[in-house]
Amino acid sequence: MLRKIAVPIVACIVFLVLWELLVWANGWPNYVMASPSDLPASYIRFWDLFIVMGWQTLWRTVLGLLIAIIVGVALGMVMGFSRTMRDALYPLLVGFNAIPKATVVPIVALMFVGAHDFNTVLIAFMISFFPIAVSVSIGLSTLEPEYRDILRSLGASQATIFWKIALPKTLPEFFGALKVAVTLAFIGTNLMEIVSPHGRGLGALFDSGKTNSDYPLMFAVLIALAFLGIVLYYVVVALEIVFAGWAERQPS
Class of domain 39-244: mainly alpha
Q: Mean pLDDT across the stretch 221-238?
A: 91
Q: What pLDDT, on the 0 to 100 scale, is given for residue 252? A: 45
Q: Is the pLDDT score of 97 beyond 90?
A: no
Integer CA distances (angstroms), 5 to 9, 13, 179, 245, in order? 7, 13, 18, 17
The reported pTM is 0.85
Question: 125 near 68, Cβ under 8 Å?
Answer: yes
pLDDT for res 58? 93
Residue extents of the structural domains in the chain? 1-33, 39-244
For the packed helices 215-244 and 47-81, what is the interaxial angle rounded to 10 degrees? 40
Q: Rounded distance, CA 82 to CA 118, Å? A: 32
pLDDT of residue 139: 79
In 3D space, the residue among 102, 121, 114, 148 whose CA is nearest the CA of residue 61 turns out to be 121
CA distance 157 to 163: 10
12-39 residue pLDDT tens: 899 999 999 998 988 888 777 888 888 9
Task: Return the pLDDT at 122.
Answer: 92
